[in-house]
Structure 1
């Protein structure tokens, strides 16, 4: 009988193991085997992993459900087992049982499954000679040298690990080690089972906008080169809002958002808005406030000492970089190939150097990342001296592109041919130049980041020659790129080219170009067809065109049409149209009531300047109570100077000192 009972029990255990599936069986076997080798009972293991005794018992028992991602990560950390491998078993076990776990929820994959170069960490050494299409190159990374910014970054990671969502954007010039710093910082989270999501397909902005709302807890959101997300003209503000919502949503936390930016982009996004003009980065500015971290261009003395010690310990990549960059401390740039890139530019053949300078000028003046070969080639002629131009051979362009395609240290080329990702959906009409399709058919090229930045610095005061503008007019078709070049031509007093470029953008249906073209014709005194251009732009949703049409109708004496157009502009967000129309009525002297009505319409649309003007008008009419009420409304809407100005008006009368003092106090209370 005893033998029979033993056989029945063994069969029951075997059945339970078979039912749970091979992945779950293997997961439990590895956990329990390591527990036994560590001579820990389940209570001791639970304490060491920070878990409950019951949780550990169920995780190891064949009668329990598959353990969760958090449980597996905690047990793996306590037992010093490879977290990534155990999470793969956990995922397979979940698939076997048909259950959904937190690991499947949300975009991304475990940090341990990412390779740093997939996340755009600059490669710094040669790949495996045996690599090929079926076997990607194994790229070495030099030893990491912590610097002062790493301490702040580590604090953010610790906060996230402790359950508090954080965002930090590293700011520095090209190839200073921003992305590598982020990669090193998240490694402690890998041991805790965190995942990482790098949105990039079909474009960075589209991926972020589509999936940010799906991001789950314990996720690193990787926004490297954050200008492609936050600076996107169509989606940047919505992405910033979605990131902010993710950070404050306790049910989806903790999360860690890491990004990188060049200083010029930070300056652009955080600059205070100009009064009366659009504020394209209001949400981005709010998101970045207090959340940026500067990464210096050069290693300081302490970092150089650490790098030297590691080089002496056998790190050949660091040793090579220090042999070239020790004096200036620009070790990170050297590792990424920056000095060699500059050498290639400075030592290039005349034709290759001309192509690089065309690309530098194009990028700094607003052409997108993908530069058409036909544009570069056509623009290069005037960058050459007469002697160099006369010595060009028939195959000069082919030879120059081949020269620039040769890789430098760091697996980079000064100017490389690239293939933009194919569109997977219709692109938005207002998509940014950097995310749009190439400007023309044919091969496109991309300028190396460090060479681009070098050009922005060294060529910022130079005006491109005529061949540049001619090639842009002949070959570029993207309206935003052409508009950028139109403004650049105007700024450099190339007015004929500005007119031709603007006409080209207008012919492609760009509303902004139509407005600019109409304004150019007005300034030149040629009013023929101007109103038709403004109407065409207005039909495409341009508030600036509606605003100008309202002014033109007012000047022509058609006040009813002027007011209708101004109100349309206000409905689309341009309260300045109502303000200007009211000011024009007020100047006539006998239309005070009409002007006041228009100011009130502007105020109803949120224009604080209109509220202040109404307050002035009431004060001038002797209705001080109404004036004070309107000034206080303006202050409540952000115009804190309104109460101050009203107080000054009272003070000037001489007999209203107490009233003025009371208003000054109210202004102080408003900050």
Structure 2
């Protein structure tokens, strides 16, 4: 290859001979030469390489001065070689198939793969591609270029909307036709483009990603625009395809008309972009979301996760692009910022609403810090941590951003919306959806420290938030905090109960009102809300939580009359608790007929209790087919009790494949009670390997019972380390512990 280049480019051969001679005399290596010439190491290597590429005039001049060679003589050789190169078939770039998309600045999506040495963008898989409306126009431009017509298209859109990925997908059809792709970027994008645009050969894609770096350069932007325009309009140089991307603010700046008698710094850029821009929307529309769902159901985990987080607002590409950096910010942040994020993750996974008070997060974060990190906190640590977490990543996302809750709306004629008796003071923040999901997956077995519960008790005022945390505390045997949080929730209950009463009074349809209520409706101007406008079932729940059982029953009946399946189920449970099994079964059946599949399990239990095993099994089977975990559980239990062990195990494994390992654990306990300890332990180990903490407890108890105390202790310690102590205690004392550590009775 070197001989061939010498034959076709004698001037280039002589240029490199002189450069190599100067380098030998100076006794530099190429790194030292790059430093002295103020050039990039890659640029210097390419100037000395035998790849046929002619170095730019600027590079040759810098090297000549650094090596004390005659500048003008070397520049003459460079110009001769460049002219010879222009007449040959070589040019900048390489075959499209040799490019890796991330090297062309397609954003990585999803977390880096685990393992040593992994995590570079090139190793990350791209999610499936969903074509959208703009892809049709882009495909037309690519097709026309492939047919021999030079084209240019610049995709305009906000950060991380899929512009670069769209370009990459579009040029794949040209790869099959042998086209090349050139991405000018070294030593700078503008310099590389200006130096080599004249060398672009036919059947080349010119890749101007982030085109502001080329067209907006104050020194060279207009010259680059002129060179690109010349490339496009000279038939003998085509076909070529120029693809670029721009943010809307840059596109507006470059295409704006100048003021009279004012400067016009982008006249050539404006002319170049006219008729050659294409808008990329911020969000996926309904057809695109449907197509993404098809790919997700086909096994695309990246798209499936993004749809879980972002399908509501359609910002899938932003979510995918921002996810790796959000995770990096969390993992590499300062200890204080990481502590605040972990407090936010725990709050969301344990049931606190979207908007987290800053005062709560600040106080909650303290015990997430090690003693060393806590001792190093400065007076302004909280301000610094929140500022750090507010910095944006791709897709305009931040790990923890300040939120502005929208004002609540009400229909005319309804009472004013009640505010908490102790409203939250100060700013509130929202955790990034990706980090919330990450926290639910990675912290699900961890119990928050004491500062978390203290901060919740001190700063949270929403009754539902407090009740959710009280239940979470009880579940983790933080019974002191459970008691205090529940008491705090009751303090905020009266105002909400009063609000519920007001709402309940207006949702009763006119035909249900008693005569003395008509005057109230008339005095409000006749504006009576229809029952369908207010969630009666939710109001009933609220009444029940503040112990107003009578009004809760009335509201449930009204909601049931309107066909609310949740209300039918709640009424059935009430009837079952007081022993009215006939009424309970009727309500359960109505709920099941209305699509509330959980009611099938309750019906099955009633039939099984009546020894109608055939009907019970059929009901459990229907619930299992509908994906109800308790349906699978009871069906497996019945099969096991009937001696059909193979069928029971098959059901347990089906449930585990669907993400529910509890059936395996239950089956393991049944086998243990039947004396088959070997199979029982094997089933429990399967569940434990799938991450079920209670399965570890089951295995530990089996090993303890068999006399293997050391192995049991190891497993118990493992369970405790993951915050799973509650499960061990629950197995030993099903009703929990009182604050003094003694076994307790269940408390409502």
Q: State the TM bucket, normalised to the shorter chain.
A: 0.3 to 0.5
- The higher radius of gyration belongs to 2
- The structure whose RCO (Cα within 8 Å, separation 6+) is larger is 1
| TM-score, structure 2 normalization | 0.36
